Structure formats: structure tokens, C-alpha cells
Amino acid sequence: MAPWLALPPAGGRKPCHRLSSALGPVRMSRTPSEDYFERLCDKRCIPLRRIPEGCGKTPDYELTIEGQTIITEVKEITRNKDEQESDRVMEERGYSNVISTTPGDRVRKKISEALPQIKARSKGTYPGLLVLFDRGFVAGHLDPYCIRVAMCGLEQINIAVPLDPSVSPYSTGMSFGPKRKMTKGHNTSISAIGVLFATGPDELLLHVYHNRYAAVPLQPELLARYGIRQYKLGEGAPGANPNWEVIVFPEGDPQQGAGSDCR
């Protein structure tokens, strides 16, 4: 784990929610993920309003860019018991336990948790953005592959078995299989998934992956002006699954040269 994102041990004293002095203390009224999202928006000058908590399901924020409201929910992925035990073994013995996980499972869980909150506020009128934070790591639970298979389904190789036993089975290509969360009829209120991560002290970035089935698409131009790199699913070659493609703008990669000065 990067030193600037070091967390207190799982056991012992109650965590004080301080990742390090490099990024500063987390405000106690916020989760770490919410605090870092607010810092990113403040540094990039993204208009942000926190939504007061109500009796029902309430998302965290509203972003208002060029008159467009974006309903935003921020979720944090924490280490489960198996991962905490693996960390303990690593500290004691210098090697960790082997952990078996299904790619995208933690993302699927957060999609299910966030949907009622985003849907209640977006009401089919506003785009919804789910922002995920994984203690500063892009690799792991929130790498691009995990985001893709969580949204589209696990990848599978299709095998044809000829009736003629003298002909060997052969691959007919790949497709997305089970565990897909984003379809034409499911989770369409979530227009995109953002991955918030840190590359160094006080260096927060946000990558956004668009949902092609969104009821109200999030227009990429709205976030591009703030230096947010964004991805969409490409067409895919015959027999292959589509992969993420960077959304290119005439002025080039918006992440390049993204600064901290508000304009």
C-alpha cells in the first residue's frame, strides 16, 4: 500500500480516519472516499453540492456543470476478512495467503447498493454517476477489467462441438456471460462509474467508464473540461469482446495538463 494511503491496523484502537499527513486528516463527518472526492472536486473546481441526508435513500452529491445536474454517489471498497487475514500473514511471515475472488464482484455489490440512492434522485431526468474508491489503488478490485466484467458480465469462450466425431471442437469466439449488472433493462439509472485513486501525495485522479445502456447518458464533454479521463466500450473485433477505449476530444487527452487552478 502506498505510504500516503496507509490505514491504521484493523484491530486495536478505533481508527481516527487519518490516511496520512500528506493528504491531511479526513473530516470526521465524511467517509475517506467522500473526503477525497470533495478534495478532487475542489482542486479541479468542479461545482459540488452535498445533498442533506433524508429519511429515505439519498445520494451524496449533486454536480452542476453548464446547467446539467449529475447525481453522484460515492462508495468505498474496504478490505474483507480474507484480505485482512492475508495482510496479517504478510506482516508476520513475509508472504500472503492465496485469495480466490470472482472478477468484478466487489464492483457489482457497490452497483446494487448505490442504485436505489441514485435512482431516487435522478428520476429518469438526470445522469447518475457512481464513484468508487479502493484505498488509492486502481489495480485490484477497480482495475478496468473488473469494471468491464462487472458492467458487461464475465467473459466466456464459446466452443462448438460438431456432430461429426471426427471433427474436434473449436472456438467460435468470445462473449460476455453471467453476472452482468448493466443491461437495457437493469441499472440504467447509473450513467457511468468513476474510479477515484491516488498516484502520490495530494495527487488524486478520477477515471470514468460510461454505461452504454444508460437511460440518461452522461455527456463526456461535461467532465472533460475538468481534466477527467473517460472511457467507452469500443465495437470489438469479430469473435472478441469490446474493450474500453479512451474518449478522445479535439484538444487531446483532457487529463494531460490538468491543473489545480480554477479558471
**Where are the alpha helices (H) located in the chain, listed in sequence order?**
32-44, 81-93, 105-122, 144-152, 220-224
Q: What is the mean pLDDT of residues 120-142?
A: 83
Residue with cell 443491461: 183
Q: Give strand pairing partners of 70.
A: 63
Read off the pLDDT of residues 150-177 as tens digits, 9 standing for 90 and up: 999 999 999 999 999 999 999 999 999 9
Q: What is the mean pLDDT of residues 85-114?
A: 84
Range of the domain at 61: 3-7+27-152+181-246
Q: Is 225 within a domain?
A: yes
The model's confidence at residue 53, banded by pLDDT at 50, 70 and 90, is confident
Q: Is 115 within a domain?
A: yes
Q: Is 189 within a domain?
A: yes
Please name the residues in contact with 177: beta carbons below 8 A apart, sequence gap of 6 or more.
Answer: 153, 154, 155, 156
Q: Is 112 within a domain?
A: yes
Residue 3 pLDDT: 38
Q: Is 214 within a domain?
A: yes
Q: What is the DSSP string of 203-247?
A: EEEEEEEE-TT-SSPPPHHHHHTTT-EEEEE----TTS---EEEP
pTM greater than 0.85: no
Q: How many domains does the chain have?
A: 1
Q: Is 163 within a domain?
A: no
Q: Is 105 within a domain?
A: yes
Q: What is the mean pLDDT of residues 88-92?
A: 79
136 or 166, greater pLDDT: 166
Residue with cell 478522445: 248
The model's confidence at residue 251, banded by pLDDT at 50, 70 and 90, is low
47 or 17, greater pLDDT: 47
Return d(Cα 71, Cα 75) in angstroms, integer: 13
Q: Is 241 within a domain?
A: yes
* Percentage of the residues of the chain whose pLDDT score is greater than 70: 79
Residue 7 pLDDT: 34
Read off the pLDDT of residues 207-235 as tens digits, 9 standing for 90 and up: 999 999 999 999 999 999 999 999 999 98
The model's confidence at residue 5, banded by pLDDT at 50, 70 and 90, is very low
Closest to 130 measured CA to CA, from 180, 78, 77: 77
113 or 255, greater pLDDT: 113
Q: What is the mean pLDDT of residues 175-181?
A: 96
The model's confidence at residue 38, banded by pLDDT at 50, 70 and 90, is very high
Residue 9 pLDDT: 30
Question: For residues 181 and 187, is the Cβ–Cβ distance under 8 A?
Answer: yes
Residue 83 pLDDT: 78
Question: For residues 208 and 223, is the Cβ–Cβ distance under 8 A?
Answer: yes
The model's confidence at residue 96, banded by pLDDT at 50, 70 and 90, is low
Longest dimension (CA), the chain: 70
Question: For residues 127 and 217, is the Cβ–Cβ distance under 8 A?
Answer: yes
* Percentage of the residues of the chain whose pLDDT score is greater than 90: 62
